[in-house]
Structure 1
Amino acid sequence: MPSLTSDATQMIEARDVRKAFGHVQVLRGVSLSVHRGEVVAVIGPSGSGKSTFLRCLNHLETIDSGHIAIEGETLATTDAQGRCAYVSDAEVRRIGAKTGMVFQHFNLFPHLTVLENLIEAPMVVQGLARDAAIARAEALLDKVGLAQKRDNYPSRLSGGQKQRVAIARALCMEPDIMLFDEPTSALDPELTGEVLRTMRELAEERMTMLVVTHEMGFAREVANTVAFMDQGELIAARPAGEFFADPGHERARAFLQHML
């Protein structure tokens, strides 16, 4: 397990986050903090609320109650009467720009080349000049080992290559935090390794990362902290080495026995 090299700066603060879809309580008071440079792996059975929690952090889903702050700036909070309120739409967009997200199914634009996929948002959202956007994109494609694919369309890429392009696209917006939602679960096993290598390199560069994953090896070797969720609750959050030695909770222990 890597040493915990994060500093004291709180990058994500979630307190008592609750979310329901209809009558189904998906998040039941989840609280988690992530510090600068920290890699947190969120694990647990399917349907435990992991992906919903991630989507709430960057406003892809709205919470029913609780408190979310990104780099010390409040995104949503709940008053004493239980009323949850978000900051203005402009502030939501500004705070949300601090996070980049990589999804399970890549979400690349099929009609754009790899390079065009990367430069679209920096030009449209950030107003970056095309030449500067291309230079940034080319550097990131080189970083993920795909410089030679810049003019290819997504249909010509393997699943692992598509996911690495998706990572580069998220990094192209220069976020302070990267959120990964099961980034390897849609990949064939032989393609998983190349994506995990890219994520390991980001961790070595001390990118703050919150990763929902079923890859126990990645969680054990790369994460500083492992957070275990089940049935909408965050059951345990412990340093990775301690968690895998003794998760400290029977539900987490049963999950590990099934996964390892």
Structure 2
Amino acid sequence: MPNSISDTTRDVPMIEARGVHKAFGANPVLRGVSLQVRRGEVVAVIGPSGSGKSTFLRCLNHLETIDSGHIAIEGETLASTDAQGRCSYAPEAELRRICRKSGMVFQHFNLFPHLTVLENLIEAPMVVQGVARGAAVARAEALLAKVGLSAKRDNYPERLSGGQKQRVAIARALCMEPDIMLFDEPTSALDPELTGEVLRTMRELAEERMTMLVVTHEMGFAREVAHTVAFMDQGELVAARPAAEFFADPGHERARAFLQHML
């Protein structure tokens, strides 16, 4: 509960990345990216395709490994680099525990096609967390109600629209009770008329003070919901400002050109 969080804990960034570098072969994808996300903050990461946004997000929960830099989640070190430039990760058990602090929602849903909606939601809590089936079902049903999909609990993913699949994916991530939600372009695979229902769910999470890092092309969401907008280009995080300030003046020529193209 919020009143049980000490002032010291409250001041620790939920996500802290410093000087993160990542290359695929000879192709540098992240060039010294640094970003902090505070408790209850919504940060929108925007920028042109190929700028490293999704790779950065995937590095934060170990779906990709970094070459150098420092990543900490709620004050616990996920990856660090020593004075000789050697990057190392936390021990395996600790790594898994730290990564469970974050829930991830992907562009293409990644639902299990052979499982019903309910089964998709209860699988990880039961297998990974050891939650009893009855408790996992109760948690899943509450979250399906939250995203407006209680009537779809026994459907298979193939019977759902794209927007419904993405809301199921959000509920599935929330079933693990994460402290942080990471969204990787959650509406980019959707038809325009289905985008609104997913953004509505994300707005509700923001209103509940869920810590969120959102890679998105939805400028309206970034402007209206995000506290901070971070702009990436060519593997660099070149501008990060409060949303209102960013859209008034992002403070960087590459970011200005991007906004002129998008708005």
TM-score tier (shorter): over 0.9
Written as runs of structure 1 = structure 2, the 5 A alignment for 1:145-160 is: 145-160=148-163
Q: Does 1:239 align with 2:242?
A: yes
Query: Cα distance, 1:248 vs. partner?
Result: 0.4
Amino acid at match of 1:217: G
Match for residue 127 of structure 2? Answer: 124
Rounded to whole Å, the distance in 2 between the matches of 1:8 and 1:125 is 29
- What TM-score do the two structures reach when normalised by structure 1? 0.97
Q: Secondary structure at the match of 2:11?
A: coil
What is the CA RMSD across the aligned residues, in angstroms?
0.5
User: Please, which of 98, 122, 142 is the counterpart of residue 139 of structure 1?
Assistant: 142
Of the three residues 65, 70, 83, the one matched with 1:67 is 70
Q: CA deviation at 1:9?
A: 3.2
Structure 1: runs of 5 or more not aligned? 1-6
The percentage of counterpart residues that share the same residue type is 88
Gapped regions of structure 2 (runs ≥ 5):
1-9
Matches within 5 A, 1:75-224: 75-224=78-227
User: In structure 2, what residue type is equivalent to 1:98?
Assistant: K
The C-alpha deviation readout for 1:130-177, integer Å capped at 9, x for no partner, is 000000000000000000000000000000000000000000000000
Structure 1 position 10 matched with structure 2 position 13: yes
Distance across 1 between alignment mates of 2:250 and 2:87: 33
Which position in structure 2 is the counterpart of 1:3?
none
User: Paired residue for 2:5?
Assistant: none
- Listed one character per residue, the Cα deviations across residues 161-211 of structure 1 (whole Å, up to 9, x for unaligned) are 000000000000000000000000000000000000000000000000000
Describe the superposition over 1:196-252 as per-residue Cα deviations: whole angstroms up to 9, x where unpaired. Answer: 000000000000000000000000000000000000000001000000000000000
Which amino acid counterpart does residue 109 of structure 1 have in structure 2?
Answer: F
| TM-score, with structure 2 as normaliser | 0.96
Aligned length: 254
